[in-house]
């Protein structure tokens, strides 16, 4: 039901928010593809494969919209948008390898086709080229933000690996999704400030906006893992929980049903038991936890929208608002 609602609204909203920057997206793609030029041909084909199976380019779009709204230097903002998406791509390469994921967005992952060594090094190469692109924005502030974001993301992954399997607190969950997703959204919305003139005082507005919609984005991603909207791309429903990772819908469910035996068994090694998992996922879906999670995501989006109120209305601000709303209405 929720899934159908999400699908229904999707086609309507994806079109609008891109409009003001649509014309620059091919240049972002080109900047990314150029990164493998002059390097080993197998690297080139890996980068092509990763970029071709890339998602909706939400991060570069966000970056370009913020840049256009702030009057940032266009060419350097295009470079920044490419840097952000390359950084995102690099983290996915190592993540998929660590998780042993075979598909992403319906396409085979690099680790499903290449050796561990080739996969690790390709991830490293994409990190390197993301850093090179960030340096080419010619802003030391951008470079600092970029490197800090990369640290935060990796530290978050390590924390998740060592600590966050099993039952976590809401604080742990929010800390994890900040590191995983919202930190990069912040980078995309804040960094364009340093490519414009005299917009430094907008830094906290742009940071709040990026943070809030980034948190919402990851919560919705975690919801979609439960609603099954990702089943068509080859992931099993509740793939996170099957790997022992507790996300918001599961967290809300266990808060409300602290003695649920299926849940405890799933966390204590029972996550390979298909019958148990199917029953548990049904219980979670029917419990209202998904709707409550979406309501939480909508709160984040509302705060993000509110932060933009201090800015003058413009085509780009309108598009950023559309993008924010799209996050809680999307289906991907």
* Interface residues toward its own copies, by CB under 8 A: 39-40, 42-43, 94, 97-98, 116-118, 120-125, 127-129, 131-132, 134-136, 138-140, 143-144, 146-148, 150-151, 153-155, 157-159, 161-163
What 3-state DSSP class applies to 53? Answer: coil
- The least CB distance from residue 195 to its own copies, in Å, is 13
Q: How far apart are CA 76 and CA 139, in angstroms?
A: 9
Q: State in angstroms the smallest separation of the CB of 30 from its own copies.
A: 18
Residue whose tokens read 């991907």: 332
Nearer to its own copies, 48 or 138 (CB): 138
215-to-98, 183, 212 alpha-carbon distances in Å? 23, 9, 5
- 247 three-state secondary structure: coil
Question: Min. distance of Cβ 330 from its own copies in angstroms?
Answer: 28
In terms of CB distance, is 136 or 273 closer to its own copies?
136
Q: Looking at beta carbons only, is 73 or 157 nearer to its own copies?
A: 157
Instruction: Take residue 299 and report the two structure tokens written for it.
Output: 């709160």
Instruction: Identify each DSSP E strand in the chain by its residue range.
Output: 103-104, 107-108
Closest to 221 (Cα-Cα) out of 95, 66, 82, 130: 95
**Closest distance of CB 209 from its own copies, Å:** 24
Smallest separation (angstroms) from its own copies to the CB of 242: 17
Alpha carbons 108 and 136: distance in angstroms, whole number: 31
Q: Which is nearer to its own copies, 127 or 253 (CB)?
A: 127
With a CB cutoff of 8 Å and minimum separation 6, the contacts of 183 are 149, 152, 153, 156, 214
Angle at 83 between CA 78 and CA 87, to 5 degrees: 150
Name the minimum Å distance from CB 141 to its own copies: 9
* 133 neighbors 35 (Cβ within 8 angstroms): yes
**Least distance (Å) from its own copies to the CB of residue 182?**
17
**CB 122, min distance to its own copies, A:** 7
CB of 82 to its own copies, least distance (A): 13
Residue 26 or 166 with smaller CB distance to its own copies? 166
**Other CB atoms within 10 Å distance of the CB of residue 45:** 11
Beta carbons within 8 Å of 132's beta carbon, 6+ residues apart: 35
Nearer to its own copies, 41 or 272 (CB): 41
By beta-carbon proximity to its own copies, the closer residue of 131 and 280 is 131
**Cβ-based nearer residue to its own copies, 100 or 106:** 100
Name residues whose C-beta falls within 8 Å of residue 298's C-beta, 6 or more positions apart in sequence.
216, 328
Considering beta carbons, is residue 129 or 235 the nearer one to its own copies?
129
DSSP codes of every residue in 109-164: -HHHHS-HHHHHHHHHHHHHHHHHHHHTTT-HHHHHHHHHHHHHHHHHHHHIIIII
């Amino acid at each position: 039901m929720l899934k159908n609602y999400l699908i229904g609204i999707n086609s309507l909203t994806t079109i609008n928010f891109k409009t003001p920057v649509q014309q620059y997206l091919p240049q972002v793609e080109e900047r990314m593809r150029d990164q493998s030029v002059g390097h080993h041909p197998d690297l080139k084909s890996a980068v092509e494969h990763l970029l071709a199976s890339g998602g909706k380019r939400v991060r570069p779009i966000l970056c370009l919209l913020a840049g256009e709204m702030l009057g940032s230097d266009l060419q350097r903002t295009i470079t920044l948008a490419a840097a952000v998406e390359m950084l995102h791509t690099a983290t996915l390469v190592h993540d998929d390898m660590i998780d042993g994921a075979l598909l992403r967005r319906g396409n085979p992952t690099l680790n499903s086709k290449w050796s561990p060594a080739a996969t690790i090094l390709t991830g490293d190469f994409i990190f390197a080229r993301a850093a090179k692109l960030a340096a080419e924005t010619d802003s030391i502030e951008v470079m600092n933000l970029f490197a800090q974001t990369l640290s935060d993301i990796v530290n978050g992954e390590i924390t998740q690996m060592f600590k966050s399997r099993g039952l976590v607190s809401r604080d742990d969950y929010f800390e994890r999704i900040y590191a995983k997703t919202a930190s990069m959204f912040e980078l995309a919305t804040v960094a364009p400030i340093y490519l414009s003139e005299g917009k430094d005082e907008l830094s906290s507005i742009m940071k709040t906006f990026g943070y809030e919609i980034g948190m919402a984005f990851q919560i919705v991603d975690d919801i979609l893992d439960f609603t099954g909207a990702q089943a068509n791309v080859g992931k099993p429903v509740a793939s996170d929980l099957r790997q022992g990772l507790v996300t918001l819908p599961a967290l809300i469910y266990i808060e409300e049903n602290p003695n649920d035996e299926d849940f405890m068994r799933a966390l204590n090694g029972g996550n390979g038991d298909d019958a148990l998992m199917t029953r548990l996922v049904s219980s979670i879906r029917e419990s209202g936890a998904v709707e409550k999670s979406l309501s939480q995501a909508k709160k984040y989006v509302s705060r993000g929208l509110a932060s933009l109120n201090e800015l003058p209305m413009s085509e780009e601000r309108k598009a950023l608002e559309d993008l924010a709303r799209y996050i809680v209405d999307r289906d991907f």
